[in-house]
Amino acid sequence: MGTRLLRNAHSLRVLSRSYTTTISSPRHLLSIADLTPHELTTLVLSAHTHKSHVDPLPTQPLRGQTLALLFTKRSTRTRVSTEAALARLGAHPLFLSPGDIQLNVNETLRDTSTVISSMTSGIVARVDAHADVEEMAKWSSVPVLNALSDLAHPLQIIADFLTLYEVFGSSKQPSSTTAPSLGLEGLRLAWIGDTNNVLYDLALASTKLGCHLSIATPPGYTLPPRILEALHATTSSNLPTHTHDPLAALDHADVILTDTWISMGAESEKSRRLREFAGFQVTEELARKGGARNGWKFMHCLPRHAEEVNDEVFYGERSLVFPEAANRLWAAIAAVEGFVVRRGVLG
């Protein structure tokens, strides 16, 4: 069975960082670590509200404003969902790729962030290194939303928990003494595959929302110390478990999740990784042998490759993949509204 992930966390940096401390400093969303359990719940419920009450003539609080989409990595779901979300909120999305601007040619990230933020109401950044989005946030005068980095993918996780809420959750209206809840406490999630940015934020969200997460990876694949530190700062109980046996992680699983085994930039490692991940493909047989619950569901943030999950599961009745992808729109609306319109005052 799995062993607790936090035993090796010492005096390491927490993922959520402090930036400038002036009164006018914007609030940024760089990781799920930046959110309290109440704030994460609020964002998911906000996404659900927007989805449930689609107005053909929506209020557009960002009408006449521009948000920059600074993407150094190609994208399908993130770009489409973000541009559609901004259009729905009335904003003009300004897409900036490395070929469009001077960044890393003869201009620093500090200077780029300072200039772009002086002309826009927010920055949505999809980058390689998490340090880059942190540097942008440090010098930006407007909110920065992380649309993907190597350590975090908060917009994906908001969409994932919206999907889980729709299938497994129940809305508990708060009284004067209780906070809103998604009703997902005790839900058992099993991650089968690589350790990556989606898993890191999934682990943080699971601990905040009371879900149990079991992680199965091949030997040698572990969570970075910085993520362990962030988990340790979140809770001292309900911590994820980690095993190298996928069957052990699947015991009583309600939801099985995976992602690509070969992320962008790691294509040269494909042959080695395929050997190391042998036996980790999600199938009905694997779930049955591992003891997953009869009604288990499957999630994948896409793009998918056949070695990660077979067609029977991916296209079958257990799959939540395409509703999960569609929910990226509502997650983006909730995040932009929460951090750009409401300036990070959530709930």
CA distances (Å), origin 119, targets 67, 93, 112: 9, 13, 11
Using CA atoms, how far apart are residues 75 and 21, in angstroms rounded to an integer?
A: 33
> Exposed (0-12), middle (13-18) or buried (19+): which is 233, by Cβ within 10 Å?
middle
- Marked catalytic residue, from 228, 255, 301, 331: 301
Handedness of CA 256, 259, 260, 261 (dihedral sign): negative
Sheet holding 92-96, edge to edge: 92-96, 66-71, 122-126, 144-148
Which residue do the tokens 């288990």 mark? 296
Mention every residue, 6+ apart, whose C-beta is less than 8 A from residue 254: 168, 187, 188, 189, 292, 293, 295, 296, 297
- Catalytic, 301? Answer yes
Secondary structure of residue 196 in the 3-state scheme? coil
The residues assigned a catalytic role are 301
